Chains A and B, each alone.
Chain A
Amino acid sequence: MSKSAKRKKWALLIYLGPAMSFLSVFIILPILFLLGLSFFKWDMLSGIYSFTGLSNYLGMLKDPNFYNALGNTVIYVLGTVPLGMAAALLIAVIINRKIRAFSFYRTAIFMPVIVSLAATGIIWLWIYDYQNGILNHILVEIGLGKVNWLGNPDIALFSVMSVTLWKRIGYNMVIFFAGLQVIPTQLYEAAKIDGARAGSQFKYVTWPNLLPTTSFVLIINLIFAFRDFSQIYVMTRGGPIGSTTTLVYYIYETAFNEFNIGYAAAVSMVLFVLVMILTYVQINYFSAKER
């Protein structure tokens, strides 16, 4: 090996070292440990591990609570991701038109992002409160009845999803906005000269040029949606009657209230594989499109 190549190797190690060691200790090793745990029954208190083979995974197949959590997760993801992205894109496009006071709107819409999730949960807990909440107060004032936003098992999940949207739209908007800014104005000018209207401009200029941004936002949003926890923990604790228990919340419940660690690890692996597959599919799809 030549001297310079050797040096390059060292340089690589030095540059990547900190990040890699951080990743290994806090991400990769725990994942491997988790994979191992999912084949065991672990009594945390006495520290006894007993190997149970695939029984954690087989138990999942017969567990109605697991299916309930999986179903809720699917609703949650499908409900928050596309809507959150579409709304954010729409707002970003409008604000990008340099409408009056656009920086005010941008700030206002971004504001929820900087509030911590736990605080957001508590704020909305008050807003949604059945007896004293401002939302029901307004509904009664305008002649509609009270709604039990978090207490009604048919509605609770959607109430939580709205809070997620409220918080996430701002984040998506800022990224879309940044993506829109780098699209060269010549392209729009050329499109105008060719007689393209706003709709066609969006379709043939904005959308294709925004694709890398969209792909990033989609991946990030899916991952976010799959692992959302704080707002559920603070607002509903998975209830009523399990109606807001998503996979992540179910993992928490099984691990830290039931102390059924091995089973929780198995559910975590399922979630992990699910997110991996989705991310892989998306990256392939978008990189094929961009080429």
Chain B
Amino acid sequence: MQLPMKYILILLIFICACGTGDSDKVVLKFWHGIESPENNKLLKQKVAEFEKKNPDIRIELQNIGAQDKAMPKIMTAISSGEYPEILWFAPVYTGKIAQSGKLLAAEDFFDRGPEFDKNNIYEGLLESGQYQGKIYTVPFETNCLAVYYNKNHFKEAGINEAPETWDEFRQAAQKLTVDINNDGAPEQYGFLIPLGTEEWTVWTWETFLWQAGGSLLNDDRTRPMFQKQPGVEALNYWLDLRYKYKCASFSARNAGYKLDPFLSEQVSMMVNGPWNYPILKDQDYIKYGSFALPAGDRDATNIGGENLYLFKTTSEKEKAAWRFAVYVMSKDFQVDWAINTGYLPVNKKAATSERYKQFLGDNPFVRTFIDSMDFGKARPPVPGYSRMSRRIGEAIEEALYRKQTPGKALQKAAEKTEEIMQQ
């Protein structure tokens, strides 16, 4: 037994010695759910640049998979205390996560250096990361929704101008619905309705709710409003496209964001965001373009994107994490990120920079989204949002399957939302 013990001892010393190699660096775990390989590569590159400028900080990247399915992972991580220092996640969950008491309020760091001017960041984006009147999370990247369309289909249907209102949009969809082999069932539909109960469906539907003049919650965000007349109109509009005018098809359930029906030319128009631009650019099979969502009573789109969540750890790590956040929101990072990924910059100086302006001139596809930001709204980051969203999703699905009228389905969802809001 004597000999092995000695070896083990030596091994232990060796391990300790190796471990200390990095001990002068602050190590930050950064969890994100960026999916496309190109964007992941870019992130690594940008993080390496940050580490070069800040040799005392090391960022450990960890991909936690698709965002729609990440919530359970994050919640268990927080409740077991195994959370990262930095998290990349949709701003709408700020309230939910801030409730845990483990989230830092980014606002407290604004004037603690390095240099950061909150006036450079779009106000609406900072608001989307608020909890109880205080900014908790700060924007990493942003985006919004608009319509993708198939240029060849538009030409064949003789449509020369992008539809601007609900009526024009419906008429266009009707013209774009074609029964190619005359078997009574169209092979090409004008529009794709995102079927499902998950966030994508609800996120898309909210734009129609706002266009109809409605809102999700009342002004002090305590009671549901989506079940009122505008909500019913928005849902009826989808139902009419599908059943009355028969010019829209349903997506596969909970897969309304997938490009397959659009790329295989089964639909001519779909609602989606700017982040698919690298994929669309990469193919020359179909000619595509984008235009702003049609207006009902008013113009509206839904602002998405992701925020940085900084968690309470040690003051040293917290400071380092904030330095990284400032780096991410800087003009240089934002311009590089926006030009390469299709996301939109969160920094006004980045958006108005010469480089980015030139990029927009060359890429009208992205310009649509930048222009739409003017009438964009963000989802209210209340703690109960995710549960309310699921209730709305269930109502939309019941109505789309015609198991329930839009009015009754939304009413039921509103009653359940009342309960959620009271908790």
A interface list, Cβ under 8 A from B? 44-47, 129-132, 146, 150-151, 153, 236-237, 239-241, 256-259
19 other A-B residue contacts (CB within 8 Å) besides A236-B253, A240-B195, A257-B386: A44-B76, A44-B78, A45-B75, A45-B97, A45-B99, A45-B102, A46-B100, A47-B79, A132-B264, A146-B185, A150-B252, A150-B253, A151-B253, A237-B198, A237-B254, A239-B197, A241-B397, A241-B398, A241-B403
Q: How far is the CB of A263 from chain B (nearest CB, A)?
A: 13
Q: How far is the CB of A239 from chain B (nearest CB, A)?
A: 6
Taking CB atoms and an 8 Å cut-off, the chain B residues in 234-281 that contact chain A are: 250, 252-254, 260-261, 264, 266
A257→B79 contact, CB < 8 A:
no
**A46-B101 contact given A131-B266, A239-B197, CB 8 Å threshold:** yes
Task: Write the B393-406 contact mask toward A (1 if CB under 8 angstroms, else 0).
Answer: 01001100101000
Across-interface contacts of B78 in A (CB, < 8 A): 44-45
Across-interface contacts of B100 in A (CB, < 8 A): 45-46
A237→B72 contact, CB < 8 A:
no
B71 CB within 8 Å of chain A: yes
B387 CB within 8 Å of chain A: yes
Q: How far is the CB of B80 from chain A (nearest CB, A)?
A: 9
Q: How far is the CB of A261 from chain B (nearest CB, A)?
A: 10
> Among B71, B250, B401, which residue has its beta carbon within 8 angstroms of that of A241?
B401
A152's nearest neighbour on chain B, judged by CB, is B401
Interface centre among A44, A129, A153, A240 (most CB of B within 10 A): A240
3 nearest A-B residue pairs (beta carbon): A45-B100, A256-B72, A44-B79
> Among B197, B198, B252, which residue has its beta carbon within 8 angstroms of that of A130?
B252
A-B contacts counted at CB < 8 A amount to 61
Given the complex of chains A and B, what is the CA–CA distance between A256 and B74 in angstroms?
Answer: 10
> Among A46, A131, A240, A241, which residue has its beta carbon within 8 angstroms of that of B99?
A46
Sample (18) of A-B pairs whose CB atoms are under 8 Å apart:
A44-B76, A44-B78, A44-B79, A46-B99, A46-B101, A131-B264, A153-B403, A237-B197, A237-B253, A237-B254, A239-B197, A239-B254, A239-B397, A241-B394, A241-B403, A256-B71, A256-B75, A257-B72
Taking CB atoms and an 8 Å cut-off, the chain B residues in 182-203 that contact chain A are: 185, 195-198
Question: How many B residues, CB 8 Å from partner?
Answer: 33
A128's nearest neighbour on chain B, judged by CB, is B252
B390 CB within 8 Å of chain A: yes
Taking CB atoms and an 8 Å cut-off, the chain B residues in 264-323 that contact chain A are: 264, 266
Given the complex of chains A and B, what is the CA–CA distance between A236 and B79 in angstroms?
Answer: 29
B253→A258 contact, CB < 8 A:
no
Across-interface contacts of B99 in A (CB, < 8 A): 45-46
Given the complex of chains A and B, what is the CA–CA distance between A153 and B403 in angstroms?
Answer: 10
Across-interface contacts of A146 in B (CB, < 8 A): 185
A150's nearest neighbour on chain B, judged by CB, is B253
Across-interface contacts of B76 in A (CB, < 8 A): 44
B266's nearest neighbour on chain A, judged by CB, is A131
Given the complex of chains A and B, what is the CA–CA distance between A145 and B387 in angstroms?
Answer: 38
**A129-B403 contact given A46-B101, A239-B197, CB 8 Å threshold:** no
Given the complex of chains A and B, what is the CA–CA distance between A241 and B197 in angstroms?
Answer: 9
Q: How far is the CB of A235 from chain B (nearest CB, A)?
A: 10
Q: How far is the CB of A33 from chain B (nearest CB, A)?
A: 14
Given the complex of chains A and B, what is the CA–CA distance between A151 and B264 in angstroms?
Answer: 20
A131→B261 contact, CB < 8 A:
yes
B71→A239 contact, CB < 8 A:
no
A240→B261 contact, CB < 8 A:
no
Given the complex of chains A and B, what is the CA–CA distance between A212 and B185 in angstroms?
Answer: 54
B75→A44 contact, CB < 8 A:
yes
Task: Write the B87-100 contact mask toward A (1 if CB under 8 angstroms, else 0).
Answer: 00000000011011
A130's nearest neighbour on chain B, judged by CB, is B252
Across-interface contacts of B266 in A (CB, < 8 A): 131
Given the complex of chains A and B, what is the CA–CA distance between A44 and B83 in angstroms?
Answer: 14
A259→B397 contact, CB < 8 A:
no
Interface centre among A150, A257, A258 (most CB of B within 10 A): A257
Taking CB atoms and an 8 Å cut-off, the chain B residues in 30-85 that contact chain A are: 71-72, 75-76, 78-79
Q: How far is the CB of B218 from chain A (nearest CB, A)?
A: 23
Given the complex of chains A and B, what is the CA–CA distance between A45 and B198 in angstroms?
Answer: 22
B250's nearest neighbour on chain A, judged by CB, is A151
Across-interface contacts of A151 in B (CB, < 8 A): 195, 250, 252-253
**A240-B397 contact given A45-B79, A130-B252, CB 8 Å threshold:** yes
B71's nearest neighbour on chain A, judged by CB, is A257
> Among A132, A153, A236, A257, which residue has its beta carbon within 8 angstroms of that of B401?
A153
Q: How far is the CB of B106 from chain A (nearest CB, A)?
A: 19
> Among B75, B196, B250, B254, which residue has its beta carbon within 8 angstroms of that of A259?
B75
Across-interface contacts of B261 in A (CB, < 8 A): 131
Q: How far is the CB of B1 from chain A (nearest CB, A)?
A: 22
Q: How far is the CB of B237 from chain A (nearest CB, A)?
A: 21
Across-interface contacts of B72 in A (CB, < 8 A): 256-257
Across-interface contacts of A131 in B (CB, < 8 A): 261, 264, 266
B73's nearest neighbour on chain A, judged by CB, is A256
Q: How far is the CB of B198 from chain A (nearest CB, A)?
A: 8
Q: How far is the CB of B67 from chain A (nearest CB, A)?
A: 14
Taking CB atoms and an 8 Å cut-off, the chain B residues in 357-416 that contact chain A are: 386-387, 390, 394, 397-398, 401, 403
Across-interface contacts of A241 in B (CB, < 8 A): 394, 397-398, 401, 403
A140's nearest neighbour on chain B, judged by CB, is B183
Q: How far is the CB of B334 from chain A (nearest CB, A)?
A: 31
Q: How far is the CB of A252 from chain B (nearest CB, A)?
A: 9
Across-interface contacts of B394 in A (CB, < 8 A): 241
Given the complex of chains A and B, what is the CA–CA distance between A45 and B423 in angstroms?
Answer: 14
Across-interface contacts of B252 in A (CB, < 8 A): 129-130, 150-151
Q: How far is the CB of A112 from chain B (nearest CB, A)?
A: 23
Taking CB atoms and an 8 Å cut-off, the chain B residues in 330-359 that contact chain A are: none
Q: How far is the CB of A148 from chain B (nearest CB, A)?
A: 9
